[in-house]
Structure 1
């Protein structure tokens, strides 16, 4: 039996599966290829709003029945919105996969909400937006994106803005839902001990009312803007976020970026964790992130510290980037972090929810299957030379952007503007 199979329904809905015969559970996702970057300025937050509203009711279930449908079986049902897509997903026991698929299809195809539920959920979204103002570890990334991708849809907050959510109407929500939740804009991915052909038969029945449709993409690649800003806030800690452009999903150096991220701040052995936390005790939390889009990406470093230590933390981050730019990556470091990434990928391949997500993303980005073995081969091919080529191309330290947030930082404004990551 083939591990991977793909089918396309007459209306354009795509179905991809990966067979895992020894798993006791099945993970299924329905991907809607529309996210925050596809919204009009007056619609900012509508993708996330729709994601919330489908759980308020369908033509066959109320909100409680939706929640109970899979929880009563020991399963899980959830959803999330990104800047590029929305994903509805469930994990259930293998004998319950048909129920899981039917519930997901109900959400994606049959939303039905009253004006009362719409108004209530609007209040919930507004509370969520307000709550994020009290979560500095998340808010600082919104500030960062607003600056480096200024005047581009990627700069927008996934939750939306209080102004756009307040003005949102029930009619607008249904227009968006009916327009984008159709045809080729939908991908169904599943991993576990289920038969592909049986899944296709069920999908033909459950998604037959989806129109043959392919949304015209108006996406344009963003231009990176060097951005330095301080947000004075009365809070316990200062928060530091530093970043610069990196690879997209389609870049030939994508896996080099993955290894560099591990080297910088991917774990307790990473350079920044060791230098900032273990050797200096300047932060409890320090890590790096590789954020990848279909046409762009960035690599960032976050640290939470005392305001009095911000300059020291920034200097250490600068020194590590400057060292990489000047000296490149040593063979011993490459071996260590390639092994780390390889191990994480292999362990992740045992998680069927992880595999379901990987299937969906690969179909969305590449429209083809990428087995774990192929990804491991790509990791193994990485050399000191290719790492240093990636560094030479992407670590343009003059583009380094910084957001600082916390108390007693306003006096650092000129210092921050003058801070040069490219000089020792």
Structure 2
């Protein structure tokens, strides 16, 4: 019942006749499973004037089906001891459940109701809208939460990737019940659905159950729009009086499917991934310029980015930015040391192992790797990919992707451009 060519032991793949793809990892030491449905129903699929719709949709999906209202649905999950949830990104959305493995047969029909027969009750829409509007107000009141919305809007400008996940108060206020129904009819179609499961299960039985409940689901979602931004150097400032200056920097870097992705992970770890990283040591420990500094990768199907955050004071912001830029320049020119490479590998491999011990993280990793790479990466394969990174590969990445060209700098605080940037860039 499964298509097992070239798959590692305990990994599974199958495709239903209606297009739904299924992937799984059997984890015999567990007594639980996590499964989820990943769909092309995300932020980039929202109508331009309805930004925030996908996030509101995520809440409304659990507010009732043709068979159950919100309370009955919630009680049904709770009676099984199931943790349910949903998440919405820029390119995909996921609806998931974590449960004791003998509750799978009772849980899957509830997920079928949610995905195939949601009702988006009019009486619940205003309550869910109010929750999203509160989230927007909280974001707008917290520059630390808002800084990468500003950076993202400028880095990805001209594409739907530039949108805020929450939207604006005005755009969320404009979403009506019919908009939710239209989004569901358009995007929730089996040709763009991936079912992923990890934990202790019988794969043939899982395939039978998914086929029985979702095999008659028919339809065709439109192709997702390709998002291929061409970032340019820019500085974006949002004036806000106060005693803080928040900095967010972004520059292009290898994305998920790039052959140099694991070298990029190593670089991000060395630059700002931990308390021994260059930015933490140079900006915080040596100079005391920030209360928080970090770096990490973000990415999408066709483009990746390195993000750097620093929270500082207006008096120290200029020097803080100068030190960060100097560290980026040094990184580009010199690469990393053998000791930094070794420490980064140990850290990344440890994180990989610890993430691999839970069914939830493994389900997410399976869905992610299959969706973007058409490959089921094992924990061992990730370890080997990290081990294979060399100093020479790191230098090669830094030749392909200059940290300073193009560089997006976003800032929220009281400083103007001359006060913050001066002649640094």
What TM-score results when the alignment is normalised by the length of structure 2?
A: 0.93
Cα displacement (A) at 1:303: 1.4
Calculate the aligned-residue CA RMSD, in Å.
1.8
1:260 maps to 2:264: no
Q: 1:97 aligns with which of 88, 92, 104?
A: 104
CA contact (8 A) 1:70 1:92 kept: no
Do the aligned partners of 1:398 and 1:420 also contact (CA within 8 Å) in 2?
no
Work out whether 1:201 is the aligned partner of 2:208. Answer: yes
Tell me if 1:409 matches 2:415: yes
Partner Cα separation in structure 2 for residue 279 and residue 70 of structure 1: 52
| Partner deviation per Cα, 1:308-346 (whole Å, 9 max, x = no partner) | 111121122112111111211111211111121111112
Q: How far has the Cα of 1:298 moved from its partner? A: 0.6
CA contact (8 A) 1:12 1:213 kept: no
- Structural mapping, 1:126-137, within 5 Å: 126-137=133-144
Deviations 1:200-238 (A, max 9, x none): 111112213421425312213111022212212244522
Q: Which residue of 2 aligns with 1:326?
A: 333
The correspondence for 1:40, drawn from 36, 47, 53, is: 47
Segments of structure 1 that go 5 or more residues without pairing to the other structure are none
SS of the residue 1:291 aligns to = strand
- The reply on whether 1:171 has 2:178 as its aligned counterpart is yes
> Which residue matches 2:378?
371
Q: Deviations over 1:93-113 (max 9, x none)?
A: 122223333332222112113
Q: 2:87, 2:95 within 8 Å by CA — same for their partners in 1?
A: yes
Deviations 1:75-128, CA, capped at 9 Å, x for gaps: 321111110111111211122223333332222112113222223322332232
Map of 1:224 onto structure 2? 231
Partner of 1:312: 319
Cα deviations across residues 237-294 of structure 1 (Å, max 9, x unaligned)?
A: 2211112111121211111111111001111111111222222222232111200111
- Distance in 1 separating the partners of 2:142 and 2:209: 42
Map 1:107-146; keep pairs closer than 5 Å: 107-146=114-153
Q: 1:276 to 1:100 in 2, by over 3 A?
A: farther
1:74 deviation in Å? 3.8
**Most deviating of 185-194 and 129-138:** 129-138
How many Å separate the matches in 2 of 1:37 and 1:113?
21
Q: Secondary structure at the match of 2:246?
A: strand
Q: Name the SS for the 1:231 alignment partner.
A: strand
Q: Structure 2 CA distance, aligned partners of 1:124 and 1:396?
A: 38
2: distance between equivalents of 1:120 and 1:145? 29
Which of 301, 306, 323 is residue 299 of structure 1 equivalent to? 306
Contact kept, 8 Å, 2:149 with 2:164, in 1: the verdict is: yes
Stretch moving more, 29-38 or 162-171: 162-171
- Worse-superposed segment, 39-48 or 14-23: 39-48
What's the secondary structure of 1:55's corresponding residue? coil
Task: Map 1:33-72 onto structure 2 (within 5 A).
Answer: 33-72=40-79
Secondary structure (helix, strand or coil) at the match of 2:288 reads coil
Contact 1:348 1:354 in 2 (8 A): yes
Residues of 1 paired with 2:109 and 2:281: CA distance? 48
TM-score by length of 1: 0.93
Counterpart selection for 1:385 from 392, 403, 422: 392
Distance 1:418 1:37, change over 3 A: farther
Residues 49-90 of structure 1: CA deviation (Å, up to 9, x unaligned) = 211111111122222233333344443211111101111112
Q: Which residue number in structure 2 is paired with residue 184 of structure 1?
A: 191
**Which of the residues 77, 87, 112 maps onto 1:80?**
87
Instruction: Say whether the 8 Å CA contact 2:34–2:99 is kept in structure 1.
Output: yes
Provide the C-alpha distance between the structure 2 equivalents of 1:54 and 1:409, rounded to a whole number of angstroms: 43
Q: Secondary structure at the match of 1:399?
A: coil
